Amino acid sequence: MQRLTISESNLEQLFGTRDENLRYLEERLGISVRARGAEVQLSGDEQAERIAARLLASLDNMLSSGGVITKEEYRTGVRVLEEDLEIDLVEFFLDASIPGSLKRYVMPRNLNQRLFIRSVYSYDYVFVTGPAGTGKTYLAVALAAAALMDKQVRRIVLVRPAVEAGERLGFLPGDLVEKINPYLRPVYDALYDILGYDKVSKLLERQVIEIAPLAFMRGRTLNDAFIILDEAQNTTHEQMKMFLTRMGFHSKTVITGDITQIDLPFAKTSGLVEALQVFDGAEGFSFIKFNHRDVVRHPLVEEVVDRYARWEKKAHAGEVERS
Mean pLDDT for 100-108 is: 73
Mean pLDDT for 27-53 is: 93
Q: What is the pLDDT of residue 180?
A: 65
How would you label 152-173 residue by residue, b for 16+ Cβ within 10 Å and e otherwise? ebebbbbbbbbbeeeeeeeeee
Q: How do beta strands 125-129 and 209-213 pair? A: unpaired
Q: Which helix or strand (DSSP H or E) is residue 83 part of?
A: helix 71-83
pLDDT above 80: residue 306: no
Mean pLDDT for 244-259 is: 96
Q: What is the pLDDT of residue 68?
A: 76
Q: What is the pLDDT of residue 171?
A: 55
pLDDT above 60: residue 168: no
Burial class (CB in 10 A: 0-12, 13-18, 19+), 112: buried
* Portion of the chain with pLDDT greater than 70, in percent: 89
pLDDT in tens, 231-240: 999 999 999 9
How would you label 17-36 residue by residue, b for 16+ Cβ within 10 Å and e otherwise? eeeebbebbbebbebebeee
Q: Where in the chain are all domains bearing CATH 3.30.1370.10?
A: 2-95
CA distance 153 to 147: 6
2-95 maps to which CATH number?
3.30.1370.10
pLDDT above 50: residue 166: no
pLDDT above 70: residue 109: yes
Residues 6+ apart with CB under 8 A from 311: 320
Four-way CATH pick for 111-307: 3.90.1150.10, 3.40.50.2020, 3.30.420.60, 3.40.50.300: 3.40.50.300
- The pLDDT-based confidence of 315 (bands split at 50, 70, 90) is confident
Q: What is the pLDDT of residue 167?
A: 44
pLDDT in tens, 64-96: 888 778 888 888 899 999 999 999 988 888 776
Amino acid identity of residue 202, one-letter, is: K
Helix/strand/coil for 122:
helix
Question: How many CA within 13 A on the CB side of residue 186?
Answer: 18
pLDDT above 60: residue 323: no
Mean pLDDT for 101-119 is: 85
CA angle 183, 232, 127 (to 5 degrees): 135
Q: Where in the chain are all domains bearing CATH 3.40.50.300?
A: 111-307
CA distance 111 to 262: 26
- The mean of the pLDDT values for the chain is 87
For residue 269, give the DSSP letter. Answer: P
Residues found in the chain: 323
pLDDT above 60: residue 202: yes
CA dihedral 307, 308, 309, 312 (to 10 degrees): 130
Nearest C-alpha neighbor of 123 from the set 137, 149, 103, 143: 143
Asked if residue 320 lies in contact with residue 312, where contact means CB atoms within 8 angstroms, the answer is no
Whole-number CA gyration radius for the chain: 22
